[in-house]
Chain A
Amino acid sequence: MRFGVIVFPGSNRDHDAFYAAANILGQQAEFIWHDATSLGDRDAVILPGGFAYGDYLRCGAIAKFSPIMKAVKTFAAGGGLVLGICNGFQILVEAGLLPGALIRNRGLKFVCREVVLRPGTTDSPFTCNARKDRTYRVPIAHGEGCYFADERTLDQLEAEDRVAFRYVGNPNGSLRDIAGVLSRERNVMGMMPHPEDAIEPLMGSSDGLVVFQSLLAATASSGRGSVAQVRA
C-alpha cells in the first residue's frame, strides 16, 4: 500500500505517521510537501498532527489554502482514502471535507493523556477491522479538540452511521462524545486521538494499529482503495 504523509509548515507528527506506515506496517510511505500540487500515485493520504502555520489563527484555517489541498480534495472526490489526525482533522474540517468544527477543550487547557475509544461504526475503510464490543486505548494531545456541530448535523452523522469513534470518558467536551467522524462517502476520516502513537507494546498500547490495519484490509479487498469498491 502506498501512503502519502502531507507536511505542512508546522506539522510535527508527520514522522510518527510515516513511521507507523513505513516501519510498523511495512508499507511504502512518502512525505509530500504542502507546496506540491499533486499527490502522486497513492492509496491513502494522511494529514498529520501538529500546529500548521502555528495555529495562530483558527486551527487549520490557513493550512486549508495550501496548494496541496486542491489535490487532496480531488483525490477525496475520486474516492481516495484521506485520514486526518488531530491537526489534520482540524484542517479537513476547515477545508469542508468533514462537517462540524473543533473548538477549545472544555477545560480550556491542552490535554495529553491516554483515552478510551469505542468504534462508532465498523462500516468504513478506517474501522473495518475494529470490533464494537471492545474498547481501544489511544492517546490524545490537543488544546482544541472539542468536536462541535449543530444538532441537525449531529443527528445526520448518527443517522448515516458516520461517527467513527467515541470517547469513553469525554476528555474535552466533544458533543455526543465524538472523537472521529467520516465523510458521507466514508472515504475521509478525521479523528483527534493519535492512533499512530499507539502502535507498539513499547508505547504502552498497540490499539491504534486497528486504524492502519483496517486501511490495509480495505485496500487489499478493493485492489485500489476506492471506497465505492470496498462497499460494493
Chain B
Amino acid sequence: MSAAAITPDLIAQHQITPDEYQKIVSILGREPNYTELGIFSVMWSEHCSYKSSRLHLKKLPTRGNLVVQGPGENAGIIDIGSGYVIAFKIESHNHPSFIEPFQGAATGVGGILRDIFTMGARPIAVMDSLRFGRLENSPNAARNRRILGGVVSGIAHYGNCFGVPTVGGECIFESCYDGNPLVNVFALGVCRKEDIFYAKAAGIGNPVIYVGARTGRDGIHGASMASAEFTEESKQKRPNVQVGDPFMEKLLLEACLEAMHTGAVVGIQDMGAAGLTCSTCEMGSRGEVGIEIELDRVPQRETGMTPYEIMLSESQERMLLVADKGREEEVFAVFRKWGLEAVEIGAVTKDGKLRVKQHGRVVAEIPNRELADEAPLYDRPHSEPLRGVPMKPRPYTCPDPTNALLQLMASGDLCSKRYIWEQYDYLVRSSTVAGPGSDAAIIRIKETGTSVAMSLDGNGRYCYLSPRQGAMLAVAESCRNLSTVGAQPVAATNCLNFGNPERPEIMAQLVEAIEGIGEACRFFDTPITGGNVSLYNETLGEGIYPTPVIGIVGLMKTSAPTGIAFRTPGRTVMLLGGIGESDETQFGSTQYAKVILGQLWGMPPALDLEREKQVQSAIREIVNAGLAESAHDLSDGGFAVALAECSFNGVGARIDLNSEMPPEQLLFHEGPSRVLLSTGHTDRVAAIAAKHGVEAPVVGATIEKELEVSQKGKRVALWQIAALQQAYEQALEAHVR
C-alpha cells in the first residue's frame, strides 16, 4: 500500500469535499489509501460523474422509436433501417485545448472517435463546434490567434491521418471565450445492427485484456483538471495534457473492429477520461461483476510508475476488453496482425469489486457500483440566470445597409471558414454528399441508399440573454438546417458548456438551458441519446456565455444535394415562412447589434415551435420533390446575410420586401422559421407551403452578378456579388495573420 498519509490537505487537493470523503469512508468501511483516494477523485469529478447536472439531465427526452441505445453508453445509437445503425456523440475538450491547443484538440478528436468505434461502429464523420476569443481589438488577440491555429491544426492532424472526414461545424468569436476556448467535437459512425458492442464486463473468469498504446505519466488527473476553474497556475498544468497518436488510433480502430468480428469479444470500452480506472469500474458496474487486475502486466512507457499513476494516467489510444475465456488467442492474433500490444491484465470476478494489485499485493479495492454509479449527486441552488446586459440599447444610428452587409460578411462569426475547413480532409471515404459550407453536412451510407444529415448549432449570445429560449432556438435551428437539405431530424446529442455550477446564477443558466433543450427536443421528436457536460469554464473568475451546443442527425434518401446557391438567373425567389417578426428588444441579440452597433441587449428572437415545425415540413417536402433549385435557411445575420450566401455562385437577385419594419431590422433581424429558396416551380412550391399553413411570399427573382433589395418598391441597397464575396472569403485569413 502507498504510504502517503491521507490528510485534509491531500483530500482538498483532490477536490473531494469533507462530506464526499465521509461517503468514501462509509463505502469502504475504512479510510482510503492514496491510490483509492485518487481513483475516487477522478470517478467522482464533475467531468466523470455529472454530479451537478445529473439531476437536471433526467429532464431530457431519451426515448424514441429509432433509439437503440440512449445515454449511459459510450455513444447513442439510432436505427437507420436496412439492418444498419448509426452511433454518435459530442464531447468537449475545452480545458486541454486552452493549455495546449494542438494536442488538446487532437486528443479531443481521438477520444470521441474511440467512443464511436468501441460501440462497434466505424467512424464516418466528424464535426467541430469551436469558440475563441476575439482575433483583433483584444489584448489577447495574439494568444487567441495562436489557440485557433493550434486547435485547427490539431483537429486536422488527428482526423486526416485517422481517415475520417471532418464535414462541418461552427466557429464563433466572443471576448468571453478569451481565456476559455470551447472545442466540442462530434463524431458519427455506422455498423450493422447485430454488430453493436457494449462496454459491459460479463462471464466470471473471463480475461480482461489491455490493448493499444502503453501507459505513461501523461494526463494524470485530466478529468479533475476539467472540473476546476482556471487560474494563473493552470498554465503550469501542461503535463496534464495528453499527446495524441492518430496512426496508433487508426490501427486500434481496424484491430478492434476485426477482433469484434471474431466473436471472441464480450465487452469493450475505451480508456478516455480517468483511463484504466474508469474503464475497469464502469465495465464492471454495467455487468454487475468485479474486475481484478495486476498492474505489473499493464504495458508501461516509463519505469517506476506507482499504482496511483497507472490507474489515473490518461495516455491515449488504449482500450480495455473482456474476451471469452479460451478464445483469447483469436483476439491476440488480430492485434498481432496490426502490430499492437494486447495483454491479459486480469479477470472478471464475481465479488463486484475493482481489485487492483501490484507485485501481487492489493493496492486498491473498491466496490464497482458505488464507485461508478453512486457518485455524489448535487441539487445545487439556482437563482435567476446571470445576465449582465440591459433590455434596452444605448442610442445608436444605423449606417447605410450596403456598408453594413459588407462589414457583416467580413466579421468573424459570419465570414467564410474556408481557411479552417480546407485544412480538414472532408472527402475521405468518398461518401461526402454535402460538406462544409452546406446548411447541414450529408454523408451517404453506401450499403443502404440512405444518407445521414447532421448539423451542430449553438448560440451563446442568445443563451446569455435567455438560456431557455437560446437553447430552444439552437435545437430549432439545427432541425431547420437538416430540413432545408431534405432530411428528417431523428435524434440529438448535446454538449453543455457552462461556468461554475457552484454559483447559483450560473447553475440557473444550466438548469434553464437543459429545460429548453428538453422542451424543444420533445417537440421535434429528436430524443437526446448522449452528450457531455463541461462546467467550470471560467478563467480568473470570468465565465463564458452559457453555451449549449446541439448536434442533430437526420435521415434522407441518398440523392444529389440541392445546395444553398442560386444557380440560374430568372428563377423566382421565395421566402418560406415570410418576413418574420422582430422588435427593438429582439434586435439586440443579432449579429447586426454585435458587429455594427457593438452592443448586446434585450432578448433572443421569439420562437413559435408550431410554426417552426410547419416551415420545416414544408421545406422538406419542397426539396424532396425536387422543386427547389436552391434552399438556404435564415440564421445569424438574418435575411441579408442569407441572401449574400446564396449569391456566391455568381447569380444574385432583385428583391422587393413588402414590410413596414425599419430597413435595418427588415434586413438583419434573426427571427427563426424562415428559408430562402429559388425555384422554377412557383405555383407548386406555393401550394405545398399553403398545405402546411406556411406563408411563402415571392420576394423577387434571380439575376446576374448583383443583389438589389428594395422595400415596398424603394431601393434600399445594391451590392456587387464580387465585392461581397471578396469580403467574405478573405476576412478570416486576414484576421489570423
Contact = CB atoms under 8 A, between A and B. Distances in A.
Contact of B433 (A23, A113, A197, A202): A202
Contacts of A9: 247, 250-251, 338-339
B446 A51 contact: no
A173 interface: no
A139 to B, nearest CB: 5
Per DSSP, are chain A's interface residues mostly helix, strand or loop, or mixed? mixed
Interface string B290-334: 000000000000000000000000000000000000000000000
B427 interface: yes
B423 A13 contact: no
A109 interface: yes
Interface stretch (A39-47, A53-61, A129-137, A148-156): A53-61
A194 B250 contact: no
Contacts, number: 89
A141 B423 contact: no
A10 B161 contact: yes
A9 B162 CA distance: 11
B160 interface: yes
B425 A10 contact: no
Nearest to B434: A204
A203 B246 contact: no
B430 A12 contact: no
Contacts of A26: none
B66 to A, nearest CB: 25
Interface string A30-53: 000101000000000000011101
Given A55-B161, A141-B160, A201-B560, A194 B427 contact: yes
Contacts of B132: none
A196 interface: yes
A16 B246 contact: no
A171 B156 CA distance: 18
Interface string B391-424: 0000000000000000000000000000001111
Size class of the B contact interface (CB-based, 8 Å): 20 to 34
Contact of B423 (A20, A110, A199): A110
A75 interface: no
Nearest to B418: A113
Contact of A113 (B245, B337, B338, B422): B422
Contacts of A71: none
A80 to B, nearest CB: 25
A16 B423 contact: no
B569 interface: no
A103 interface: no
A194 B429 CA distance: 11
Nearest to A203: B430
Interface in B128-183: 153, 156, 160-163
Interface in A2-34: 9-10, 12-13, 15-16, 19-20, 23, 33
A111 interface: yes
Contacts of A220: none
Contact of A13 (B246, B428, B432): B428
Interface in B414-469: 421-430, 432-433, 444, 446
B720 interface: no
Interface string A149-189: 00000000000000000000000000000000000000000
A105 to B, nearest CB: 11
A128 B512 CA distance: 65
Contact of A51 (B160, B337, B432): B160
Nearest to B156: A110
**7 nearest CB pairs, A to B:** A12-B163, A54-B247, A16-B430, A51-B161, A141-B425, A197-B430, A112-B425
Given A13-B430, A202-B444, 16 more contacts: A9-B247, A9-B250, A10-B251, A12-B162, A12-B163, A12-B428, A15-B429, A55-B247, A109-B422, A110-B156, A112-B426, A197-B427, A202-B433, A202-B558, A202-B559, A203-B433
Interface of B: 153, 156, 160-163, 245-248, 250-251, 337-339, 421-430, 432-433, 444, 446, 558-560
